[in-house]
Amino acid sequence: MKALIHKLKTRILKIHWLLILILAIALGLRIMHLDWDQGQYLHPDERFLVMVTTAMKTSPTWSEYVDSQKSMMNPMNIGYAFFVYGTFPLVVTKFVAIALNKDFYGGLHIVGRALSALADTSIVLCIYLIIRRIRSIAADSGVRIPRNIAYWAAFLYGISVLPIQLSHFFATDTFANAAGMWGIAIVVYTWIQAKDLHHLHKHPRLVMGKIIVSVIVAGICMGIAIASKISSVYMLPVFACAVFVLVGTMSFQTRRYPLLAQRSALFVILGLILAVSTYLSVRIADPYYFANPSVFSFQIHPNFISNIEELKRLTNLEGWFPPAVQWIHKPKPWFALQNIAWFGMGMGMTATALYGLILMMKRWLLFRSEKKGIALSIAVWGMVMWGAGVLLYQSMQIAHTLRYFLELYPFFSVLAAIGLHGLLTSVETSHFRLWIKRAMQIGLIIGVSLWTVAFCRIYMVPHSRITASKWIWENIPSGSRVGLEHWDDPLPLQIQGSPSKIITGVEMPIFGQDTDEKWAQMNQKFNEIDYYIMTSNRGWGSVTTVPERYPRQTKFYSDLFAEKTQFTHVKTFSSFPSLCIPWTQTCYQFNDQWSEEAFTVYDHPMVMIFRNKNK
């Protein structure tokens, strides 16, 4: 009996309780109030994806599923010809929703959000496993990676704000990022087999077989990532770095050919295997990228190509497409970098990531050039160059919204973990008193977590548009006409318990060109409406940044806020990220309205209501 108890205790102690706690925290943050908009579908992209997914009809045969001309799971065949997303997340969500009896508009979005949260949480585990595996290979290059770096990296990604926010949306980003990261993890996990030279010499075919299978599975994951989001192709260099290290750590029995030639040939072979498995995976996970169901036909579907071209045309800064207006005068690359630092990560985590980058570069510049360490060192620098290249490239695009940088956040979390560990270690080795050291260490951990705590509060309070709608139904008389800005979600929303009132919305063409005709129409509508409602900063946050294009509209907003028009401010509703003192009503709010539009307008927009003084 004692032996059994001892054995049980030993097994319990071997469980990674800290990792389980980190995963629980990450998942909890991602599923916190998944129904944050109370079924109102206030994320327009998500609303569109739900409409497409509910309209899909499962294909009765495999041949019909893979035929882009016939399949009823192809958005083009069910009335959605303009579709630039990958369909894999939609197909998965469709089948899960069917199994849960949630395949309807009003239920499917919760399934999609839950799957998005699970997918992103899996990245936390993935980061931990990757760092643990890299430790053993790094030792060969004379670089010692502390064990707790893996825990810190997993924790810091788990509390990163952008992944938490995107996990609350049924979109394709988290699915793509998770699939890509797991593909990389699978390749990294084969390193230890290639590193075990004794095992390799004894069973070369067995080891090579495992490596080839691992590369095939990694290619399948990469294919799923591309089938979720076409821009996942940017992750291919990371796979190349992982395969490069894999080949660089291997030894060969035969000396018949030069070692460099053998490794080069193996790298090409594994690269081809990876490419073929990726391609076949894309063909299965999203066959609608292609014009022909035959795997030997590489022709991209002309409808998909035309959609991408149309999307590029819409984001042309010379045009008048409303979502593109906000990007006209945004400084590149500084605006994107500011948003990543302030909002996507928070300044605490950004500071530790920058410090971690310095420490990593310093450490790897001093590595001992042993044979099996060179490959990893080259790959590390390749990863740094890849991260910098993607960061610069995306931040120089016309639209450089935060979610376009999601694939970099695992990399950021590793850098932040290195930096945080370095700071904690420097405090530990300092000459301060023990209690001061502990206080400083706790302060560092709190510092990197503050922005997460502040941001997640938006999911603990009612959505600002829900609160505003309740106020409108309670305070605006029946029969009133309210001005609502073009390209923004209208209010009031139909919420449970709304009184039986009639409130008519009047669309205001704020994004129209500033012509006399537009303003004649605007002035006429101003005299007709009783209230003017701005349900987010989509209008004034974009238009006022281009006064040369919208001189009269810009002046209108300036006069409106200064109470110089016929409208007077009545009420503002907001749910800014905030920090509150426990057991008090004292809170400090962070006004993030200067961030890029998509960060605020979906889950915590600011609503402003003005009353017509002449009515």
Q: What is the mean pLDDT of residues 357-369?
A: 72
Answer whether residue 361 shows pLDDT above 50. Answer: yes
Sign of CA dihedral 20, 23, 29, 33: negative
The pLDDT score that the predictor gives to residue 316 is: 82
Answer whether residue 424 shows pLDDT above 60. Answer: yes
Among 94-108, 252-266, 501-515, 575-589, whose mean pLDDT is lowest?
252-266
**Residues above pLDDT 90, as percent of the chain:** 71
The pLDDT score that the predictor gives to residue 435 is: 84
**527-545 pLDDT per residue, tens:** 999 999 999 999 999 999 9
Answer whether residue 197 shows pLDDT above 50. Answer: no
Considering the domain boundaries, does residue 26 fall inside one? yes
Q: What is the mean pLDDT of residues 148-170?
A: 96
The pLDDT score that the predictor gives to residue 215 is: 94
Q: What is the mean pLDDT of residues 431-444?
A: 87
Q: What is the mean pLDDT of residues 244-266?
A: 75
Considering the domain boundaries, does residue 338 fall inside one? no
Q: Do 189 and 92 share a structural domain?
A: yes
Q: What is the mean pLDDT of residues 255-264?
A: 74
Considering the domain boundaries, does residue 84 fall inside one? yes
Give the integer Cα–Cα distance in Å for 509 and 519.
9
Q: What is the mean pLDDT of residues 505-524?
A: 95
Tally the domains of the chain: 2
Domain boundary among 381, 404, 421: 381
DSSP per-residue letters across 414-451: HHHHHHHHHHHHHHHTSSS-HHHHHHHHHHHHHHHHHH
The pLDDT score that the predictor gives to residue 271 is: 93
DSSP per-residue letters across 549-589: T-HHHHHHHHHHHTT-SSEEEEEEE----EEE-TTSS-EEE
Domain boundary among 327, 348, 381: 381
Q: Do 374 and 507 share a structural domain?
A: no
Sign of CA dihedral 164, 166, 169, 174: negative
The pLDDT score that the predictor gives to residue 14 is: 55
Partners of residue 573 on adjacent β-strands: 607
**54-100 pLDDT per residue, tens:** 999 998 889 999 999 999 999 999 999 999 999 999 999 999 999 99
Considering the domain boundaries, does residue 425 fall inside one? no
Answer whether residue 201 shows pLDDT above 60. Answer: no
The residue ranking higher by pLDDT, 264 or 555, is 555
The pLDDT score that the predictor gives to residue 200 is: 47
Q: Do the beta carbons of residue 166 and residue 174 sit within 8 Å?
A: yes
Q: Do 288 and 181 share a structural domain?
A: yes
The pLDDT score that the predictor gives to residue 198 is: 44
The pLDDT score that the predictor gives to residue 189 is: 86
Domain boundary among 381, 407, 431: 381
User: Which tokens go with 481?
Assistant: 């006409």
Q: Do 374 and 515 share a structural domain?
A: no
Partners of residue 484 on adjacent β-strands: 507, 533
Q: What is the mean pLDDT of residues 408-426?
A: 94
Q: Do 480 and 377 share a structural domain?
A: no
Answer whether residue 10 shows pLDDT above 80. Answer: no
pLDDT confidence tier of residue 235, bands split at 50, 70 and 90: very high
Q: Do 136 and 19 share a structural domain?
A: yes
Max avg pLDDT among 62-71, 138-147, 167-176: 167-176
Residue 523's domain comprises 464-612
Q: Do 254 and 144 share a structural domain?
A: yes
Considering the domain boundaries, does residue 359 fall inside one? no
Considering the domain boundaries, does residue 449 fall inside one? no
Pairing of strands 578-580, 587-589: antiparallel
The pLDDT score that the predictor gives to residue 525 is: 96
Q: Do 124 and 273 share a structural domain?
A: yes
- Which residues, 6 or more positions from 428, have their beta carbon under 8 angstroms from its beta carbon? 437, 441
Answer whether residue 413 shows pLDDT above 80. Answer: yes
The pLDDT score that the predictor gives to residue 430 is: 83
Q: Do 161 and 62 share a structural domain?
A: yes
Q: Do 246 and 113 share a structural domain?
A: yes
Q: Do the beta carbons of residue 223 and residue 279 sit within 8 Å?
A: yes
The residue ranking higher by pLDDT, 282 or 142, is 282
Answer whether residue 252 shows pLDDT above 70. Answer: no
Instruction: Supply the Cα-derived Rg of the chain in whole angstroms.
Output: 27
The pLDDT score that the predictor gives to residue 248 is: 79
The pLDDT score that the predictor gives to residue 247 is: 84
pLDDT confidence tier of residue 237, bands split at 50, 70 and 90: very high
Among 285-294, 377-386, 442-451, whose mean pLDDT is lowest?
377-386
Q: Do the beta carbons of residue 243 and residue 271 sit within 8 Å?
A: yes
The pLDDT score that the predictor gives to residue 196 is: 52
Answer whether residue 5 shows pLDDT above 60. Answer: no
pLDDT confidence tier of residue 160, bands split at 50, 70 and 90: very high
Predicted model pTM: 0.93
Among 335-344, 431-440, 552-561, whose mean pLDDT is lowest?
431-440
- Which residues, 6 or more positions from 361, have their beta carbon under 8 angstroms from its beta carbon? 384
The pLDDT score that the predictor gives to residue 210 is: 84
Answer whether residue 15 shows pLDDT above 80. Answer: no
> Could you give phi then psi for residue 213, rounded to 5 degrees?
-60, -40
Considering the domain boundaries, does residue 278 fall inside one? yes
Q: What is the mean pLDDT of residues 425-431?
A: 86
